[in-house]
Structure 1
Amino acid sequence: MKKIALVGAAGNVGRKIVEIINERDSFPDVSITPIGSMRSQGEKIHIKGHDLAVVHIDTIDFSHYDLAIFAAGSKAAQDYVPKATQAGCPVVDCSSFYRMDPKVPLVVPPVNLKDVERYTEKKIISSANCIASPITTVLAPLHQIAPIDRVVLSTYQSVSGAGKDAMNELMHQTKAFYTTMPYQRKVFPKDIAFNVLPMIDVVHPNGNTGEETKIALEIKKVLDRNISIAVQSVRVPVFISHCVSVFVEFSGAITPDQAKDALRLSPHVTVIDDMKNYYSALDAAGEDQVFVSRLRYDPSVENGLIFWTASDNLRRGAALDAVEIAEHLLTKYL
């Protein structure tokens, strides 16, 4: 039986990975060790019918594992992924740390799962950002009809993308608003409850944030480096699901009906035809699909479309991608 080390098992994405593995009959029969920091050490995680205690990462010998899944952020990836790979353990990493490394494949399973075969270069596979993943999933079928020249994204990202502490901050601020209870901001620079924050991550000298830069670069790496991309990222007071307003300019003609027909062929996308209806963040929460609605012509350019996407950032945008990559790696290469 293969052995998997799941690093960050008690975090938002780690728990979703466990949830998905517990749901999937197709996932190989494996032994999973939940791993974390001192903060989560000893916490019980229910995996395949067993309650397993989280083990401190510093006690782990990765040479005893066939695969490691890292869902613990960039700092943990920087510190511990090299220890895993040097011990001969391949890694699926959910953080941004290795995504732009030219020797590390950046994989969005509905788009370029075949790139998993390149894991041997550094024994690392990166999964994409929780916006880049659903957006490339939708753009890839359209890119095959008419090459994409330019994409403009306005993202509306839930607080779960910033971790459990961010979700707690939204909850406490919301309660405080109605009860006049005191609270202290720890995660966001301004109140997130009943507010929107038009800045995610640090600001670079060119004015773009780290999040906006990551989204653009990752879409280009996965889909096509020649596409021009502009991104405005906004944090919204929603617990789960990211939504995106998408403007796409193509090099040739494409109709909304052609786009809808192409997207319907994807098992990972659900399209709504009724122009008076749409998918919201709540509609997408807990689902594995990327939901597309309000798809129509963009009247400001010759060959353009506008649409709205909604997807669960913890499942489709993170955990499910990692599980599908691990599943493919285990069944085909390990």
Structure 2
Amino acid sequence: MLDALKSLFETNAISEEIKNDIEEAWNAKVKENQMQITAELREEFASKYEHDKANMVEAVEKMLDEKLNEEISEFAEDRKKLAEARAKYHVAMRDNADLLKGFVMEQLGKEVSELHQDQKVMANKFGKLEEFVVDALAKEIAEFHEDKKDLAETKVRLIREAKEHLSKVKQSFIEKGAKVVEKTVAKTLNNEISQLKEDIDVARRNDFGRKIFETFAEEYNNSYMNEKSETAKLLKVVELKDKQLAEANANAEKKAKLVESKDAEIKNAVETAKRKETISELVAPLSKEQKEIMQDLLESVATDKLEGNFNKYLPAVIDGKSVAKKATLTEAKEITGDKIDENSSSASDSAKVDNVVDIRRLAGLN
């Protein structure tokens, strides 16, 4: 039929309108057939899909049932074994717990008893150690105070002896110095007098020449210089003002320096007066010799520390006794309980004597 229609179209036996109607009818029929075939194919595929789906679901359900049954049976068996093992564990733990409790209590009792014994021993040792430390510390403190007292007495004695020696040396120096100064002054005066004569002669000559020059200058000014001109007057006024200004500045500077110096002098005077007053009040009850010694001791002490050092040196100054042969502080001795070596003690005594000799030599008492 398709060939007949094709030949009919080629021969142009029909009009264009009929040709178009035939084509439209043909196309509509073709589309209808296509849609019908598509619907049939869809229906066939849907039925086939439902059949395959049912088969797959049935197979999966069957497989799951088999696997679940196997797993459930294994789980039940494992649960049974776990219950049996737990029961055995509880029985074993009950027996072992009793044994462990007994062992722990026994060991704990031993440790506690040993701990109490150790605490008692440590308490005894700490008590002995405390007694030993307190005893040693008391001895060291006593020795320190004794050494401190000896040091103050030694210082007082050295100052007293040095003062006496200084007075002797001063007297000897004055006598020798007087002779030397007398010779030097006589020689110097002779030289100065001869030089003075020469200077007087030279000064006379210079004065004569100066008078000649001044006379010449005065005559020249009177003859050739007109001091009454306006310029000369102005120069004199300017010179006078400059001179007055310089004098005023100099006076101001002098006054400022004078004020500063007076302030410093007043401050020093107040401090000196305060220091002298403090020292006078402190040494007032002492005798003349004791005052001199105490003033020498307090000479290099700061003003605010005068009273403390006065109380420190007062016992030694009042006693006026010679200090024992112990010029250096004794070091702390280690108490070990060993026997003291006689040679070492004699060596320390000789060292002390040597120290005293050195102090006397430095003070100029040998």
Normalised by the length of structure 2, the TM-score is 0.14
Which structure dedicates a bigger proportion of its chain to helix? 2
Structure with more contact order per residue of length (Cα contacts < 8 Å, sep ≥ 6):
2
Superposition TM-score, scaled by structure 1 size: 0.15
